[in-house]
Structure 1
Amino acid sequence: MIITLLSDFGFKDNFLAVAKAILLEQLPDARMIDINHEVEPFHLLQCSYQWVSAYGSFPPRTIHLSLFDIMQQRPATLLVAAVGNQYFISADNGLLPLSFKDQEMQVKTMGHTASSYGEWIAMAAGVIRQLQQSDFDLSGFPDASPKVFPLQLQPVVKEHYVECQVIHIDRYENVVLNITRSEFDLLRKGRKFRISFMRNESVTKISHHYADVAQGEKLCLFNSAGFLEIAINRGNAASLLGFRLHDDTQLIYQHIKIEFL
């Protein structure tokens, strides 16, 4: 049985090791695979992107366990959801409805609450064990609906342009925007486009690979998850082009404008 783990725990403290110890106590044969533990603390949008862009690579009946912002509500509840042939476990913190807003999702609950993150993780281990023993039959769990629904961060669409936000900056400082290939094509309608940056620089075509441009040159491409990405071949796009991760607590938002010509 494969269990993926996703969190904002980081590696500076022992939270992740403790979480794995709790899981292994009940699930000694589990194969645990880390998706990411360096999600920006409490950054729901980035966490959702990490989940959505990763789960499709795993085999059927993989269990995807989010340890992100477990105690967003106190006491914390646990939701388990089936999306296709994949299974997702999360606290009721908005992650499930944000990640799978356009997909059919069967949602259940444990029926209990937890007063600490360790208690919640132990509860999640019990859910996983029950899923395994029941051959992934969710009928034994009470029906549930998420109670936390975050605001959907959507591109701002106008007739001749769209404004996007940064939802992830990876290790190489490639910048991921909140627009997919299908959304881009629908809005573009076959028109030329221009993405403008600082110093009057811009990108006017979609590349297929980073190496499509010379080293140090900027480019745009759709990444493996299908999201539009701004990059510099063997360079640091976020730093050099002045991009930062979207933060909805800031009074002034940073938009990336795509003009259709």
Structure 2
Amino acid sequence: MPIITLTTDFGLKDHFVGTIKGTIHKELRDAVIVDISHQVNPFHIQECAYLLKNAYKAFPEGTIHIVGVDSERTPETTHLAVKVDGHYFVTADNGVISLIVEEVRPEKVVEISLPGTVQDAFPVLSVFVPAACHLARGGTPEVIGKPFGKLRHYKEFAPRVTNDGDTIVGSVIYIDNYGNVVTNIQRSLFDAYRKGRSFTLEARNQKLTAIHDRYSGFINFDLDRAQRRGPGDLLALFNSSGYVELAIYKSNLNTVGGAATLLGLDYRDTVFINFQ
């Protein structure tokens, strides 16, 4: 049976996530349900897309992804089942698909229309779960909806290259659980313009001249502990998804804070890479 994943902004305090899982198991007793995240900031489509974009490819083709962020149906936003890159996404037409799979054309898109469904305040339960269970049983999208031709397109800010290739201007796209700041500057873009040159990464009043491959990469372990950099120090690295990230080594948001708070950076704030 295909895996069903859940990505929502419901949090874990309330009953919503448990109710969704219980209803799926009532329909499909042996269903495999995987939580991607329930801590998406409320209605934050871009944050939801970042998490799903970097997670869905880890699952086998045929996986069904329920996207429970900004999911209410309105005259301007319908409910969709989208097959793209071998995966199914059950979601509202709120632009999230265009952010998850920017370079892949959907194989199939249907507007969900389930007989007898009442539009209520919990569409993830009343609409998305039955649709996902139908697909998990091997049902086709055409049975639960009609073809839908025009997905809402939402284009995230892309980094800009200026000064004849000497400067990359990027933006903050995500802040993780540790307060680490993820930018939209990907390693491939950085490598394409670096051309062996030295550089300075600037964020607020901080400047860094190295980008590492892991969090501990900035530590010189040949030095005595008292002399080397370590916990509480700022670094830049290419994270596991290939984006430039700013981090405080072994940060703790409950004590010293993370890179976002210490640098005063938030979503869409600007960072620069200047090549010399």
Shared fold per TM-score greater than 0.5: yes
TM bin (shorter chain): 0.7 to 0.9
Aligned 8 A contact 1:19 1:118 in 2: no
Shift in Å at residue 119 of structure 1? 4.1
What's the TM-score once normalised by structure 1's chain length? 0.85
Unaligned runs of 5+ in 1: 247-253
Residues 72/164 of structure 1: CA separation in 2 closer, same or farther (3 Å cut)? farther
Task: Please say if 1:154 is aligned against 2:149.
Answer: no
Query: RMSD of the alignment, in Å?
Result: 2.4
User: 1:67-146 residue pairs with structure 2 within 5 A?
Assistant: 67-71=68-72, 73-74=74-75, 77-112=78-113, 115-134=119-138, 137-138=140-141, 140=143, 142-146=146-150
Number of the residue aligned with 2:55: 54
User: What percent identity do the matched residue pairs reach?
Assistant: 33
Q: Which has the larger radius of gyration?
A: 2
Counterpart of 1:18 in 2: which secondary structure?
helix
CA distance in 2: counterparts of 1:66 and 1:76, whole angstroms: 14
Number of the residue aligned with 1:175: 181
Shift in Å at residue 146 of structure 1? 4.2
Number of the residue aligned with 2:203: 197
Deviations 1:55-92 (A, max 9, x none): 12222322111011101635852222222232222111
Counterpart of 1:97 in 2: which secondary structure?
helix
Shift in Å at residue 130 of structure 1? 2.6
CA distance in 2: counterparts of 1:31 and 1:259, whole angstroms: 47
Counterpart of 1:121 in 2: which secondary structure?
helix
Aligned 8 A contact 2:110 2:142 in 1: no
CA distance in 1: counterparts of 2:125 and 2:152, whole angstroms: 20
Number of the residue aligned with 1:185: 191
Number of matched pairs: 252
Residues 181/116 of structure 1: CA separation in 2 closer, same or farther (3 Å cut)? farther
Number of the residue aligned with 1:255: 270
Match for residue 237 of structure 1 among 235, 256, 259 = 259
Aligned 8 A contact 1:97 1:146 in 2: no
Shift in Å at residue 112 of structure 1? 1.8
Unaligned runs of 5+ in 2: 219-228, 252-257
Deviates more, 1:28-37 or 1:110-119: 110-119
Counterpart of 2:122 in 1: which secondary structure?
helix
CA distance in 1: counterparts of 2:176 and 2:85, whole angstroms: 28
Deviates more, 1:159-168 or 1:69-78: 69-78
Shift in Å at residue 137 of structure 1? 4.7
Aligned 8 A contact 1:208 1:221 in 2: yes
Counterpart of 2:185 in 1: which secondary structure?
strand
